[in-house]
Amino acid sequence: MSWTDERVETLKRMWNEGQSASQIAKELGGVTRNAVIGKVHRLGLSNRSGGAPAAPAKEKAAPKPATPKPMMTESASPKPTAAPPMSPARKAIIPAGQPLPPQPSANEISPEALAKVNEVEKSAKKISLMELTERTCKWPVGDPATEDFWFCGLPVQQGKPYCEAHVGVAFQPMSSRRDRRR
DNA sequence: CCCTGATTCGC
DNA sequence: GCGAATCAGG
């Protein structure tokens, strides 16, 4: 693949939209994110600005022009309030009667988060215990005492044991989310 | 480990 | 000019 006008155009557009290099590469196809980044540099638009070099620096070793970009959306307030799902290990010891394990109670969890989970669970990979890996969401769904039980299996949020959606319900902002978003 | 962009350098 | 390899950071 080569950089046709059209492809370059798409590149520019997406880059300015804040898309990541890898996303752009995927969209374009036939190129890697490295290619995209390389091109971005050659086009001189490493800084996601329309093209207004407000900083006329002549530095050679200017390490950091500062990046006023949103970047990673990481909210840090890890205080597990909503009971994290129990270990799969207790699978068999459940009185198969009715005292079902407290399905991560839908107490005061963000309605949005719950809605998100419901959606996610529909497209979940539904993997089994054995299929769990370091980077698969380990959120259990269903009744461990029945066949109707599986793990989410979606890609986990970096660091966390669950996917984004499940991290959302697993880690409550400790109160009933009071603060405002960023 | 996953991901991000930045840089280098042989082609 | 191109982009894989590498680097630096989250």
| Per-domain residue ranges of chain A | 1-56, 106-182
Closest protein residue to B6 using CA and C1' atoms? A37
Spatial distance from the CA of A10 to the C1' of B4 (Å): 20
Strand C reaches within 7 A of the A2 CB: yes
Stretch A137-161: mean pLDDT: 83
Stretch A32-42: mean pLDDT: 94
Spatial distance from the CA of A109 to the C1' of C5 (Å): 45
Cα distance between residue A109 and residue A136, in whole Å? 23
Positions of chain C reached by protein Cβ under 7 A: 1-6, 10
Q: Which nucleotide is nearest to A35 (CA to C1')?
A: C3
In the prediction, which pLDDT does A35 show? 95
**Per-residue tokens: A137:** 């969401």
Cβ atoms of A71 and A124 closer than 8 Å: no
A173: pLDDT strictly greater than 50: yes
A51-79 confidence digits (pLDDT tens): 554 444 333 333 434 434 344 444 444 44
Closest protein residue to C1 using CA and C1' atoms? A42
A176: pLDDT strictly greater than 60: no
